[in-house]
Amino acid sequence: MNKFYSFTLAGLICIAAFSSATAQINYGGTPSFIEETEELRNTRMTMPSFDREEIAAADVVTDQIKEVPWRFGIENEVVYSPSTHGYWSAENGENVWRLSLTGDEATGMSIRFSEFGLQKGQYLFIWAPETGDYLGKFDHRSVKDWGGFSTGILTGSEIIIELHQATQFGISAPITIDQVVYGYRSLLLHSEGLANEMRGPFGNSGACNINVNCPEGAAWATEKRGVALIVQGGFTVCTGTLINNTMNDGTPYFLTANHCLGDPGNWVYYFNHENATCSGSTGPTNQSVSGGTLLVSDGASDFALIELSSTPPAAFNVQYAGFDASGATPSSATGIHHPSGDVKKICFEEDSPYFANAAGAAVWMIDQWEAGVTEPGSSGSALFDNNHRIIGQLYGGAAACVGSVNNGQLDYYGRLNVSWDLGASEYLDPTGGNITVWDGYPDGAVSYDNDAGVTITGAPDGVLCGSAQIEIDVVLTNSGANNLTSASITYYINGASGQQINWNGNLSQYETDIISLPPFTAVNGENTVVVAVTSPNGVNDDNTLNDAADVEFSTFAGETFDFQLALTLDEYGSEISWEIKRLGTVVYSGGPYEDTDDGDGGEVVLVDLCLEAGCYIFNISDSYGDGLCCEYGEGSWQILDGDGDVISSSNGEFGEGESEQFCTDEASLDNIISSIKTIYPNPASSVLSIELQQTDGVIVVTDASGRIINTMNLDATQSRATMDVSSWAEGMYLVTWTGVNGTRQVSQVGIVH
């Protein structure tokens, strides 16, 4: 009997809409969902069988050891590539390669690529015929620095790898599968009569664990969003948590335990693997990030800080947890974790954890949990204090379930205050201010009784042309549980003495009010506005982390010129960035932009430029190295003056990047007749070479302001001069040669570094 892999149109629409929004980070599209073909059947690879009783006996032992990864699948080492396995076919103007992988009674399957070097024009899907679930598309944007790529798990006993590529690539591709994971665990843990929807894809924990979405966990709905299950091959290695930094910039730093470490580049990080109810044991497995880079780790506090290879997309709705590395003893503690690979759970310690040493590390000791426990797979999970901030990560312990209750045993967590001085502060406090207490992002850590916060809105964006009256608004927010009825707001403009506003009103929690500051005249150059709020309801603010805000902007008060950058993007706007510099200082910059994935691109970005008199360098770069034109759209750029005339432009065929110089007074430069034979490279970065039609004279180099930078005398025997420009500031320079007979030869050159 033939298998049929097709689905109804309605089903495909639902699948496409679901996957494209929330799957492992992907770039749109759907696989073919073809019916089974003779070629697919004849090239199918079946994973070898194994002794289930022997595996079950081993699991009984290792499941009791918290520090040992929890196994849910068998890892099969293989070597599969398009040149050795599967089959190729020509479809819709593309070459398509497919390979079917099966495992008898497998509960789920995943794969690892030891080589994953897709280029533009090559993309890949992985799909499960039994369910219609799929991963992808993956393309050149999925390529990792380390060359490999691990995928999430798909439910079912068969998966199909489907590679599409332009015909110019032929029938070869730079991908190699070196591991296939055969999921088995849920079949061992459950009777055949148990409903399939009650089976967790990675396993199930003891009955005394508490689902994070039970009523007990309601107060932790924010922090749970940063917790992720770590899977490597056939093991649920550990748990970890996204952690904020003092820049609040969403850098995907991820905290786990040092003893969990294998190769973070081969880990898959599953977010939001939780059940929406209090009793269910299944959860989504379609929100994951593949791979990460270890930044720092140390056994002295059993911590590891990893940067994920990609920022979790907005659809994942993640939270970057706040932290407290001060070492202050909290009044209680909470753990959020994935015990035994299960859906997200929560446990509570109602007493104060305390300093101790365990297994050679400085730890927080939990004598026993009042509710819930941890298990193997929970290792690396965050310990939160009563203010909802991370203070450590799980190292080990003896806590476990005995039937439906916990065993009353201890657990211990590596201390963040120790990790702080072992390298964590470099990343979590990049400003170097030794800020050891910080709230979460984008949402705060916890509500306080009296908590007023301020932000600034309405400030000029970028550079402001000419003297102007500036009007700025302050947004006052009541983040506290008590209604906000009064507060003091102090503002400072360009370093002048502070001016105070006494605010009165009535704001419920999270309500805001707008306070307009008196207009002021901007000064030439940098302008700074600082605003602070104090004394909410006439008392000290319970949370000082959101009490101040500042903004900076620049103003050109002298003569300025209106220019414009017109940038036409190709399909891959995420690869494009640019900057405009004057005398080595960046005055404007932009990108990267959004991808369109429509094969055409064409989005036009217009940037108004306010420029002081002088000369500028425009740099544009493409991270992939194929410019803006022409295979994936006909992108280009132009710089126009105030009359709309094109001053400088490019057709977008520039590879990794290009640099062009332009001046606000282009007319005067057009009148300069360059009789220097050759000046190269232009722009230059290290050595500048000058070839002359005539010799016996002097070369003078001046910058855009007319200052002499270098001089060189030449005699009649010299027709070429070289200059070391590596120490020169970036910008535009004029090169003038004056001969002994008074002849002048002039050219211009740009310096970039």
Q: Where are the beta strands (DSSP E) in 603-645?
A: 604-612, 615-622, 629-630, 633-634, 636-640
Task: Say what the pLDDT of residue 706 is.
Answer: 63
Q: Where are the alpha helices (DSSP H) in 535-673?
A: 666-670
Same fold, 452-556 and 672-751: yes
Q: H/E/C letters for each residue in 47-84?
A: CCCCCHHHHHHHHHHHCCCCCCCEECEEEEEEEECCCC
Task: Say what the pLDDT of residue 293 is.
Answer: 97
Q: What is the DSSP letter of 35?
A: P
Task: Say what the pLDDT of residue 445 is.
Answer: 67
Helix (H) or strand (E) holding 45: strand 45-46
User: Is domain 672-751 given the CATH code 1.20.1740.10 in the classification?
Assistant: no
Task: Say what the pLDDT of residue 188 is.
Answer: 36
Q: Which residues are catalytic?
A: 259, 302, 379
Closest CA to 393 of 372, 419, 370: 419
Task: Say what the pLDDT of residue 47 is.
Answer: 95
Query: What strand order describes the sheet that includes 560-568?
Result: 604-612, 560-568, 636-640, 646-650
Q: Which CATH superfamily is domain 452-556 in?
A: Immunoglobulins (2.60.40.10)
- Separation between Cα atoms, residue 663 and residue 558, nearest integer Å: 17
User: Is domain 560-667 given the CATH code 2.40.30 in the classification?
Assistant: no
Task: Report helix, strand or coil for 394.
Answer: strand
Task: Say what the pLDDT of residue 704 is.
Answer: 64
Task: Say what the pLDDT of residue 21 is.
Answer: 32
CATH of domain 205-438: 2.40.10.10
Structure tokens at 509: 């929690």
Give φ, ψ of 91 to 5 degrees. Answer: -140, 125
Question: What type of residue sits at position 212?
Answer: V
632's CB contacts (< 8 A; 6+ apart) are 120, 570, 571, 572, 599, 601, 626
Average pLDDT along the chain, 753 residues, taken 10 residues at a time: 35 34 72 93 94 87 78 94 97 96 90 96 95 92 93 91 95 97 64 38 85 94 96 92 95 97 94 91 87 97 97 95 97 96 95 95 97 94 96 96 92 98 97 91 84 90 76 93 96 95 94 94 89 97 89 82 93 94 84 80 88 87 92 92 89 90 63 56 88 78 77 80 89 80 73 84
Number of other CB atoms surrounding residue 50 within 10 Å: 14
pTM metric for this prediction? 0.77
Domain ranges of the chain: 9-189, 205-438, 452-556, 560-667, 672-751
> First-to-last CA distance in the chain?
66
Q: Specify whether the CB–CB gap between 178 and 114 falls below 8 A.
A: yes
Number of other CB atoms surrounding residue 360 within 10 Å: 10
- The DSSP string of 155-211 is ESSEEEEEEEEEGGGTT--SEEEEEEEEE-HHHHHS-TTS-GGG--SS----TT-EE
